[in-house]
Chain A
Amino acid sequence: MIQWRPVYVICYREFVKFFREKSRLLGTIARPLLWLFVVGNGMASLIRPQTGFSYLQFIFPGMIGMTILFSSIFSSISIVWDREFGFMKEMLVAPISRLSIVIGKAISGTLISVAQAIIIMLFIPFLGLQMTIVQFLEVVVVSVLVSFCITSLGILIAARLTSFDGFNIIMNFLVMPMLFLSGAMYPVNSMPAALRHLTVINPLTYGIDAFKHVLLRQSTPPLGPEFPLSRDIAIVSILSISILSLAALSFRKKD
């Protein structure tokens, strides 16, 4: 059902294009760094967390989550570009299963997001933060899970989006709310009840909570992790599989 050569070449194409388009690379790295250096340091003087670590430290897990969120959505939205510019037809008339295309896009989106998360972590020494090798590896593992989940979600949306006019709507009504309602910048439990219900259905909430387990291990709520790690991992994994299955199904539909 899954043909691996096509999956490989779909990933190969995405990587070639990712490293060729310097502006995209720069943009995705610049955004979290801006948050960390400017917003993080700006807010740090206002907010003095009682638990003994800085605001910068608090938002770092969230910024890894944000990097993954934007990168994964951008990667999967490339499907809409492919369709608009006709390249999708090249894949659709090839003797490969639709599932191979979906898996190829999911894996390439995941790998590119993880690569960007790693790039962000390279800036840790400049932020005055500390991280052990074990923590680094744990973040990479969690990144793979979270990236795969968000990329699948993006593919599901892209499979239904017929033109890139819908892209702004996705950015404003999905990506930004997902970021703001994820616990990336403030604890989920400090939000009003109405908003808190929305954070519960946001996959990114659990992803970022898992990053907090790895990076803010000693701290407790409100600033530390708010859910058990096992629950975070389970929810992200189950969501990944079900969203990707849905995406594969909606990709199979012909007119």
Chain B
Amino acid sequence: MSVIFAQNLTKQFKALKAVDGISFSVEEGETFGFLGPNGAGKTTTINILCTLLSPSGGKAEISGFDCTTRPDAVRASIGLLFQDTTLDMGLTAYENLKFHAYLYNLDKALTEKRIDEMLGVVELQGRKYELVKNFSGGMKRRLEIARGLLHYPRVLFLDEPTLGLDPQTRSTIWDFIHALRRREKITVFMTTHYMEEAENCDRIAIIDHGRIIAEGTPSKLKQLVRGDMIHLVTDDNQIALKEIRERFHLTAREESGMLAVEAEKGDEFIPRLIRGLSVPTLSVSITKPTLNDVFLKLTGRTIRDDALQNAKEVTREFVRSHRRAQR
């Protein structure tokens, strides 16, 4: 039986169809990822699954409980890590965890035991009685993971778990998640718009404009891109682009001053390519396809095209943390 099950899930906000007929299922112990740009409907889907929103149509189930009709049973079996922090900055780490334990009806002795256990897992034992507002971004995130696991949920939801963290902290957080998955048989449902992060999943659904446009293991999805990715810079990219398309009949794109060409057996193809172009080649590199290339192939856009939106998000995050500080 699937631990998470969604069928034809739809959510309509006034004019916007945020989630548009999504179906998927996640098995026990699996790590399943939603990959897509901002505004694709990832968070809306999580909010429906964790009973914060009711769907406009379709069906969602967690551990066999319907998210609409049995919200309490669903809530008892999930743990969450939201995009924005939901810790109380004015409380200590211990107080935040105690609050959580009591909401989930753990008794007093168990509460103390689990708090120590989970602080150990995320290596924050030494900070138990410190106010959370003095924590760094990575420490806050780790504390939230500890809190999300305190009641031993069957499913852990991670909504953009490493958003706004530096690469080093990001990889630490992932080490924790991997270690956790080895220890417990926990099912993880996560969303991200970082390609590298999605590669940590057993299975991925690529989501765009509220629809799942591809689903499978990372390696299977990468097979959608036919071969290797060749990136090259030439004296005149426009002429080169035209020639690649006309002479070699290959798909190619220009992105940030570089040509991206998709070709089978790229290493053997490069010499022919360079000889075949009328303009001199300045540099060339070859990479195995990433999920970014898959997304590009499926949607014609890179996730990085949303850089503008990301900047807005960073600003919002800044304003929030600034307000928090003022408090």
Q: B86 at the A/B interface (Cβ < 8 Å)?
A: yes
Q: A3 at the A/B interface (Cβ < 8 Å)?
A: yes
Q: Across the interface, which residues of A come within 8 angstroms of B223, CB to CB?
A: none
How long is the Cα–Cα vector from A158 to B294 in the complex, in angstroms? 46
Q: B102 at the A/B interface (Cβ < 8 Å)?
A: yes
Chain B nearest Cβ from A9, distance in angstroms? 4
Q: Across the interface, which residues of A come within 8 angstroms of B100, CB to CB?
A: 90, 94
Contact B53 A94 (CB under 8 A): no
How long is the Cα–Cα vector from A249 to B58 in the complex, in angstroms? 26
Contact A9 B53 (CB under 8 A): no
Question: For chain A residues 75-123, which have a beta carbon within 8 Å of chain B?
Answer: 81, 84-87, 89-97
Contact B102 A9 (CB under 8 A): yes
Which stretch, B77-85, B119-127, B243-251, B280-288, touches the partner chain A? B77-85
Could you list which residues of chain B lie within 8 angstroms of chain A, going by C-beta atoms? 13, 50-54, 72-73, 75-76, 78, 80, 82, 84-91, 95, 98-100, 102-105, 320, 323-324, 327
Q: Could you pull out 19 A-B pairs where Cβ atoms are within 8 angstroms? A: A6-B102, A6-B103, A9-B103, A13-B95, A13-B99, A17-B90, A20-B90, A21-B90, A81-B327, A86-B86, A89-B80, A89-B82, A90-B87, A93-B50, A93-B51, A93-B52, A93-B75, A94-B104, A95-B76
Candidates B72, B73, B76, B102; contact of A5 at CB < 8 Å: B102
Contact A86 B84 (CB under 8 A): yes
Q: Across the interface, which residues of A come within 8 angstroms of B89, CB to CB?
A: 85
Q: Across the interface, which residues of B come within 8 angstroms of A89, CB to CB?
A: 52, 80, 82, 86
Contact B102 A8 (CB under 8 A): yes
Given A8-B102, A95-B104, A254-B53, A87 contacting B75 (CB threshold 8 A)? no
Candidates A21, A84, A93; contact of B80 at CB < 8 Å: A93
Q: A193 at the A/B interface (Cβ < 8 Å)?
A: no
Q: A26 at the A/B interface (Cβ < 8 Å)?
A: no
Q: A134 at the A/B interface (Cβ < 8 Å)?
A: no
Q: Across the interface, which residues of A come within 8 angstroms of B105, CB to CB?
A: 3, 5-6, 95
Contact A87 B86 (CB under 8 A): yes
How long is the Cα–Cα vector from A255 to B19 in the complex, in angstroms? 14
How long is the Cα–Cα vector from A96 to B51 in the complex, in angstroms? 12
Contact B102 A92 (CB under 8 A): no
Instruction: Name the CB-closest residue of A to B11.
Output: A255
Counting contact residues on chain A (CB < 8 A from B), the size range is 20 to 34
8 other A-B residue contacts (CB within 8 Å) besides A3-B105, A85-B86, A86-B86:
A12-B102, A13-B99, A16-B91, A87-B86, A89-B52, A93-B80, A94-B75, A254-B54
Q: Across the interface, which residues of B come within 8 angstroms of A17, CB to CB?
A: 88, 90-91
Q: Across the interface, which residues of B come within 8 angstroms of A97, CB to CB?
A: 72
Chain B nearest Cβ from A243, distance in angstroms? 25
Given A93-B80, A95-B75, A254-B54, A87 contacting B102 (CB threshold 8 A)? no
Given A9-B103, A93-B51, A86 contacting B85 (CB threshold 8 A)? yes
Contact A255 B53 (CB under 8 A): yes
Chain A nearest Cβ from B274, distance in angstroms? 54
Most buried by B among A3, A6, A90, A255: A90
Chain B nearest Cβ from A84, distance in angstroms? 8
Contact A16 B95 (CB under 8 A): yes
Contact A94 B88 (CB under 8 A): no
How long is the Cα–Cα vector from A89 to B84 in the complex, in angstroms? 10
How long is the Cα–Cα vector from A6 to B99 in the complex, in angstroms? 8
Q: Across the interface, which residues of A come within 8 angstroms of B80, CB to CB?
A: 89, 93
Instruction: Name the CB-closest residue of A to B144.
Output: A90
How long is the Cα–Cα vector from A5 to B84 in the complex, in angstroms? 26
How long is the Cα–Cα vector from A16 to B129 in the complex, in angstroms? 13
Contact B103 A91 (CB under 8 A): yes
Q: Across the interface, which residues of A come within 8 angstroms of B327, CB to CB?
A: 81
Q: A1-44 toward B: CB 8 Å interface, digit per residue (1/0)?
A: 00101101100110011001100000000000000000000000
Q: Across the interface, which residues of B come within 8 angstroms of A255, CB to CB?
A: 13, 53-54
Q: Across the interface, which residues of B come within 8 angstroms of A6, CB to CB?
A: 102-103, 105
Question: For chain A residues 147-177, which have a beta carbon within 8 Å of chain B?
Answer: none
Chain A nearest Cβ from B47, distance in angstroms? 9
